[in-house]
Structures are given as structure tokens and as C-alpha cells.
A and B are shown apart, each in its own frame.
Chain A
Amino acid sequence: MTSKTSPPCDGLSRRNFLRTTGAAGAALGVGIRHAAAHQPGSGVPPDAQPKIELTVNGRLRTLTVEPRTTLVEALRDTLGLTGTKIGCNQGQCGACTVLLNGDRVNSCLILALSANGAEITTIEGLANPDGSLHPMQTAFAEQDAFQCGYCTPGQILSAIACIDEGHAGSADEIREYMSGNLCRCGAYPNIVAAVESVRDSKEG
């Protein structure tokens, strides 16, 4: 019998994780002016918590966030935009993909603070105000490019970015550039078909 003291295991250390993502936020050129004011993990009383501004799906939103709050948590829990999903909270699955200033990002890897001032597009922002769907949404539905639907919001935003980036030239290229979005149901061939159909209709 030996005796040992050890903190509970929980995989990735949140603190190390935040340090890493802080750097990523800076690399993206996203404003981080509030982030420096508070140590991540220190906890901040609600009345002292900073305010940020996000333009989400074309609407300017002002919100108060605890410094540790990630962008996906701000979108889901603060703004109620639950269309964006959390699949791992570790930047591994792509379920939380949103467009940040037009680029696809894993919103679980970005602090809400570091996204201050950014323009965000989520799955809720794709359809037209009259309810008509974005062509990628229609293509996913028609091609049955999902089963459970949980990775779908992230897949659709990633697919739109994939075409915009010019990475949809061939099926092989689409497979490669869509491989950051996991689909456990295995809808991959149908996802490729959906991206190809939207790409072709744009070219047509």
C-alpha cells in the first residue's frame, strides 16, 4: 500500500489551455485588450466583469463575460445561440466552428474577451430573413450530409469557408480541407457531395 496525493485527473489543464489560446487569439489579430486585465482562472465577481461587443449575425451585441468564458459559451449560454455545438471543448472536433471576421475558427478555443469587436457568423445567421435557406444548408439537407445533426452547424460553416478559401477544387481537396470537422455518424461522402454541388452551382 502506498499513499499519494494528487489532484483529480481531468485531461487537459484548463489553465495551460487558456494560455495557449490567448496566443492563438493574438495571432488571429483579434483585440485582446480586456484579457490582460484579469488572470484567467482567478474568478472575477460579477459586478467587476468586463463588457465586450460582438457583431453576431449582423447584429451588434454587448455582453458581460467572465474572463474565462470561451466564445462558444458566450454564444450559447449568454446569447442563447445554441445552434453552435460543443463536441470536445478542446479544438479537436470542429463542432463549434463559426466564422470570425470571415474565417472559420473553433469557437471553443477562443476566449470571448479576445473576440471583442469581431464579426461572428453562426448557423443561425445563414438563412435569409424570409426563412429561405443558404445554398449550403439546402445541399446538406438534400444530400443527407448528416445523421444525428450534431456536427452539422460546424460542418456547414466550415463548408462555406472551404469554398470561399478556394479549397474545394476537387473531391480530394474537399476531403482534406473538411477533415477538421469530425462526423461520428460517417456522413463524409455526402458532405463532400454537398460541398461539390454548391461549388458547381456557384461556378455555373
Chain B
Amino acid sequence: MAQTINTAVTRTDAPRKVTGTATYAADVMPAGMLHGALATSSVAVGTLTGMDISKAKAEPGVLAVFTHDTLPDYKSVKGFYSGGPGSASFWPMDTAPVRSYADNPSSASYWPMEDVRIRYAGQPIAYVVAQSAAAARRGAQLIEATYDVSESHIAMDPEQSFVVGAGEDSKGMVVTKGDLARGLSSVAQIVEAEYITPFQHHNPLEMFSATAEWRGDRLTVWMPSQSVRTLRAGIAQAYGLAETSVRVISPFVGGAFGSKAGVTPYAMLTIAAAKAVGAPVRLIVTRPQMYTVATFRPESVQRFRLGADAAGRLTAFEHIEIAQTSQFDQVVNAGTHITRAMYACPNIHTEQRLSRSDTNSGGFMRAPNEMQTFFGLESAMDELAIKLGMDPVALRRVNDTDRHPVEDVPFSSRSLMQSYAAVADSFGWADRTPEVGSMTDGDWLVGYGCATATYPTNILASNARVRMQGTGQAYIELAAHDVGTGTYTIMAQIAAARLGLPVGACDVVMGEADLPVAPISGGSTTAASAGSAVHDACLKIGRQIAAQVSAMSEGPLSGVDPAGITLENGVLKAPDGRSQPLVEALASTPAGEIEVIGEFRHKAMTDKMIMTTFKGGYGSAGPVTPEMAMFAFGAEMVEVRVHRWTHEIRVPRLHGAFAAGTILNRKTAHSQLMGGMIWGIGSALHEVTEIDKPRARFLNTNIAEYLLSVNADVREIRVEMLEERDDYVNPLGVKGIGELGIVGTAAAIANAVHHATGTRLRRLPIRMSDLVGKA
């Protein structure tokens, strides 16, 4: 059987995706389905003093209008997910009670339509059910609400920040190693700077939707999800149902990026409405409403002080991150946990701080800890290199380390400088002249910039069921997700390689909560964790079939000690040289088929971590275990052109080289890394959720005014995937690549803009107007 791992395999779901037959959640229409629509608050903070729903109820086609007074079932949700009404709820994962997030005292979650309180603009205040989507939307528009309006602030005040869990247990939020003051006192050069990143929204192309159908005490929910078991656990608990009475179905997800990771209010409201009207209800959240019914990337301030000796060696490293959170949740995306792992330094101080403002709760958005913090760190490193008169790559080399600078454990593998060497070669870094503005092409100022990328290797417990038939097919079943990441394909590849079957004979079934446990598809976990469970299941099949055929009176392996039989590329092999293809061996057994459950449990996983994952939470071992630090690394180099007169900023070339352990599928992995880099272009130059400060609301809540990178924004993107072996992270040696590509891009572009123009821009996104009068 041909080697299937580390090759370029076309997606197994490609035929469905190019013919329109891949079934996304909102494509399902149960018989008798009605349509839901949300009405949302037009003020940010205050109290509802009255609601006139008479016009909405009179609208032809409208069947029901629910408010906080008339949606009784929903109130039982109160307090369930105390981390917040969004995917924010996974934090703090260490202290949250495993069985319920309800009584976690560190967080006071708030669900809309509980009562008359208005906590943020765009909060759902009513739910309309109608015979058509158009009638439901019209009904929602006809609802008139009156409010007592209170003062509100949508922008955080960085000077009003606080540390979660400060005092007895800071949970790594404040970390000091060595003596920062001493480190700062003996430097050749110091960079002290503040970098600012904006609110951003995920904006997956697939709009949020939920379809709920009750049949007696059985409930089925179709909803795009990157965490079907989390969703099922939340729904079951809210309605007092056994998890076995709740089906959550999400076979295809039209992009997620963190926005579909949790239990969201719009899902709970739809379930409640369907129960109240006694018919299936489908809600498709409008694009503007998507900005306030789920989560987003909070705005942040990144404060750095970096000191180095004359040779460029860091002697002081201080990073204080202040990130926005809502008034009722503590959403921590712990970026300082990642930056302090990056470079060798004897004196380190990091603080992870939050500041509150009047919004829905933020959450995870692609590289939630890394995008904004590495814009800061890698910009600061560039500034330091310039002050030292060093090549920026040389500064990274001087400070590379094979041990975690704070935790003092070795990296399980770290190919940072190999990545720099590879990308420098492909990009032509040697052609760069270091002086600012020294490279021009007619009216274009040309700049080259570089930055480091890293992403933690999160590994979670997972199971997978593999059913193999002697006729040469296999089912691979697990509650994992393909959010565009190629999971269907890589799971088939893993099974095909182990079982000796064609990839096309391995049918992968995922995206349902009833399937064997797999973790949340977030934090670049799925290939490493769920893939290792599939791998384990296949090895178990080999052992069980070996035991059966060795006990038979006939056959190639008859009489062999089964303990000595190995499974290699789909062939059972005995030490004496005898062998039999696994599929033939299976066909010779009485049943002719077999099913087993594979398990992935890393030795660094505690019982509590495993339990958390099985309850739908995020029980990651790593990135730092007692023995090792597990991170993937990469380096990006970019050419930026700034027009001398118009200040137009273009990105003609963006190259990246990455080392992330085993690459399972070179085609889909390339797409993931490339997509991440294109997200990085967006973060650098386009993406910002603008805020209306007087009215405390998000302003550009659509995808014409919230600028996503379009085809014409993207030119040459080159991705190189280095060979890297890591036997510690998991049996497959996979580290995860879904988020790595975005991490360095924004800083690389900012550094290139500086190289081209001499203007250092420390706020994202970088715009033409930032260069007017400067370049």
C-alpha cells in the first residue's frame, strides 16, 4: 500500500463541496419547520422599560413573539455556563468545576433575555417565530422597545486593568524570573514600546444558525459547531435532559475560527422557542447580529520592555498584556504565556491583565493568544535589532534557546532557526539592504520585514472508533470536526496507512456528539489528538486480528506467537518473515469484520484533564508539561511596497517556513498555513471592528465595511513545510498548524513598512492614512 501520510491528498469531501451536496447546518429543514428571528437592543446599557410587540404579532406569517417574560424555559439556562454566553467559557479551565461551570465564583455570566437588564448593544431582547424567514425578520423589526439608558463605554480603559486570580493563586497571570530591574540596568540598548490591536470579528462565511426539533423529550439540534460535545453537554444540562436524549449534528462547518466553539445564546433561545411553539425552528442569525450574539477578538494593549547587551543577547524581558473583557465575564487569552516561551533571557516579568467595557463577551479568534502579542513582541524585536545595528534574523538567532526560558524544561523540538534559514533562502533575504528607504522601485518604496511565528502544541484526550470490514472498507467514527481543516481527509489517511486500505475506502464520520469522544476543534488540537486516537484504534485492530489468525489451524500466520506480530503499512508480519495483509487476515476470521475503540492519552495528561475533555471542556496537557515544552515554530518574510505619493500599501510577496512535526497532508496543510498567513495580511492591513464610542456599539457590522482580505489583496504566498520529528508530543508526531500561519504576519508587515518608509506603526490595522505626512 502506498504511503499516504505526508503526501498531498485531495480532500475526500471535495466532491461534495464542489457539487453543493455537503450538508451544512442551515441546509437541513425538518418537516414543519418554522423560522426564527432575533430582535436586539439598540442601546448598550440600561433597563428595558417596555416592549410593544403588537405590530410584530399582527404581521402576517408571524406566529409567536417571545420576550424575557414569555420564554420560561430559557431561564433555566441561567448560570449554567458561568464563563459567559459564548465560547469564552472555557477559562479558567484549571479551576472550573469539572461537572458544571455553574458555581465557578470567579465569573458571573450573563445570558440575554433573562430579565430587563441591557448589558451591551445588540443584545437579544425578543425572538420572533414565523412561517417564513422574511416574515420573522419583519416581525423582529416591528418590535418597539423603550429603555432607561445608562452611561456606557465600549472602549476599555487600560489604566483600569486588573489581574484574574491575583493574590493567592495568579494561575501564571503574573510571572517573574530573575531580576528585571537588574537586567534593565546593564543593557546596551533598550526598547520600551506599546502596541495596540483592535476588536476583530471572526466573520466565517457561514452565518451562525441553529435549528431545533423537539420530539417528546428528545431534542435534535443542527448547528455549525467546532465542539459538538460541549454543545450537547450545555444543552442537556440547561434542559435537565440526559445527554443521550440530545443529538447535536454538525457534519460540515462553513468556517469557524473560534466563533463556533461554545454554547451560544442564539442556540439556547432557538431551542426554547421551538419547545414553546411545538414545532422545529430554524434561526439564521443576520450578519450584523453576528457581531453581538457570539464572541470576538478583544482589543488589547501590549507593553514591552526589552533590553539587550551589545551582542544582542536579551538581559531583560517585560511584557504586560492588557486585554478587553465584558462587564460580566473574565475572558483571558493568555498571550504572555506564549511570549515568555520565545527567547532566552535571565530576567523576565510578564503580567496578564484585563480591563472591562460594555460589550458581549469576547472569546477565541484564530491564534487568540498569539496574533496580538506577537505583533507586539516581533515589532519590538525589530526595533531592538535596529537600535543594535543587527540584522533582525541575527537577533533571533542570538536569542534562540532549546529550553523554555521560564519553566526550564527542554523544547520537545524547536526548529526556529531552520525555519528562518529556509524562508530566507526562498525569499531572498540576502538582497535586503538594511537602511530605511534604501530599496525603491520607481515610485514604490520597498521594504522587507520578518517575524517569528509560534503556536503551542495543545494535546487533549480523544477516542475514535474504527470498524474495518474484510471486504476492504473501514469506517472511522469520532466526534471531531472538519471546519475546513481537512480533518475528514487526514483521518482517512491515517487509517489507510495503518490498515493498508486506499484512502477512498476509509469513510470518516464526524460532527455528531453521539460519536466517540473527541476534543474541541480549537487550539490546533484535532490532528494531533483525535488523529492519535485513530492511529491507536488501527494498531488495536492489528493486535486483535493477529491474535485471531495466529490461533487458527490454517493460514499464513497460524501458530505464530501473536505477541511478536507487528502491523506495518497494513501487513501483519511475524518475526520469522511470514506475513499476511491485514484485510486478508480479517476476511479469514469468522466475523469478517471488527470494531475497536482507540484511545489517545498522553502521559502528561492528569485525570482531571481527561475528565474535563470528556465533559466537553478543554483539558489540554501542554504546551508545558513537567518534562517538556511543546511548540511549533516558523518564520515569515514579507515584501511590502508603499507608494511614495499615494501611500497605498501592497503585499506582493509573503513567504513562510514552518516546522510543526509530522505533516499529514501536504495539500490541506499548505492551505491551512496559507490561509493563516492571509488572515495575517487582514490583521495587518484591513481588519478592525470600528466602535461608536458615544453609543457604545460596534459600528461596521457587515462584511463590506469590516474589511476582509479579498482575492485582489493577495499576491504571491509561498509556504514551506520543514521535516521535523517529535516523538514526545503524540504517537503521530503532529503539532498542529491551524493557527501557526497567522502569528508572525502582522509584525512582519509592520516591520517591512518601517523598512520601506522609516515610520514605525504600533497600532493595527496599518492604513494609508497612518503614513500621510510621514513617508
Contact = CB atoms under 8 A, between A and B. Distances in A.
B259 to A, nearest CB: 10
Interface in A3-41: 3-14, 41
Interface residues of A, number: 79
B676 A186 contact: yes
Nearest to A147: B484
A69 B144 contact: no
A43 to B, nearest CB: 3
Interface residues of B, number: 92
A186 B654 CA distance: 13
A152 interface: yes
A175 B144 CA distance: 45
A10 B137 contact: yes
B254 A141 contact: no
A123 B19 CA distance: 6
Interface in A25-78: 41-46, 66, 68-70, 73, 76-77
Interface string A64-99: 001011100100110011111111111011010000
B708 A182 contact: yes
B204 A184 contact: yes
B235 to A, nearest CB: 24
A137 to B, nearest CB: 4
Contact of A150 (B205, B679, B702): B205
Contact of B138 (A8, A43, A147, A156): A43
Contacts of A179: 710-712
B134 A140 contact: no
Nearest to B146: A5
Given A4-B43, A152-B18, A187 B253 contact: no
Interface in A93-133: 93, 95, 122-124, 126-127, 133
B678 A149 contact: no
B25 to A, nearest CB: 11
A113 to B, nearest CB: 12
B288 A10 contact: yes
Interface string B26-46: 110100000000011111000
B724 interface: no
Contacts of A73: 132-134
A151 interface: yes
Contact of A88 (B24, B207, B677, B678): B207
Given A189-B674, A190-B671, A5 B144 contact: yes
Interface string B646-675: 000000000000000000000110111011
A194 B15 CA distance: 15
A198 interface: no
Interface in A138-169: 138, 140-142, 144, 146-153, 156
Nearest to A68: B134
Given A92-B702, A144-B11, A133 B18 contact: yes
B286 interface: yes
Contacts of A189: 674, 714, 716-717
A8 B140 CA distance: 8
B703 A148 contact: no
A69 to B, nearest CB: 6
Interface stretch (B147-155, B425-433, B602-610, B754-762): B147-155
A150 B29 contact: no
A56 B132 CA distance: 22
B24 A10 contact: no
Given A8-B40, A140-B18, A182 B710 contact: yes
B134 A66 contact: yes
A184 B255 contact: yes
A148 B255 contact: yes
Interface in B251-279: 252-257
Given A186-B709, A191-B711, A148 B18 contact: no
Given A156-B18, A175-B714, A66 B135 contact: yes
Nearest to A44: B60
A175 B206 contact: no
Given A11-B289, A144-B14, A186-B675, 14 more contacts: A5-B146, A6-B42, A6-B144, A12-B702, A76-B27, A77-B133, A141-B17, A147-B486, A148-B204, A148-B256, A152-B17, A178-B711, A182-B205, A184-B708
Those 7 A-B pairs whose CB atoms lie nearest each other, nearest first: A83-B20, A150-B254, A43-B60, A148-B484, A11-B288, A186-B678, A147-B484
27 contacts: A3-B147, A4-B147, A5-B146, A7-B144, A8-B40, A9-B41, A10-B289, A11-B288, A13-B141, A14-B141, A66-B135, A68-B134, A80-B29, A82-B24, A87-B703, A89-B207, A93-B703, A124-B20, A127-B19, A147-B484, A148-B252, A148-B256, A175-B712, A184-B257, A185-B671, A187-B671, A187-B674
Interface of B: 10-11, 13-24, 26-27, 29, 39-43, 49, 59-61, 121-122, 125-126, 131-135, 137-138, 140-150, 203-207, 252-257, 284, 286-289, 483-486, 667-668, 670-672, 674-679, 697, 701-704, 708-712, 714, 716-717
Interface of A: 1-14, 41-46, 66, 68-70, 73, 76-77, 80-90, 92-93, 95, 122-124, 126-127, 133, 137-138, 140-142, 144, 146-153, 156, 174-176, 178-179, 181-192
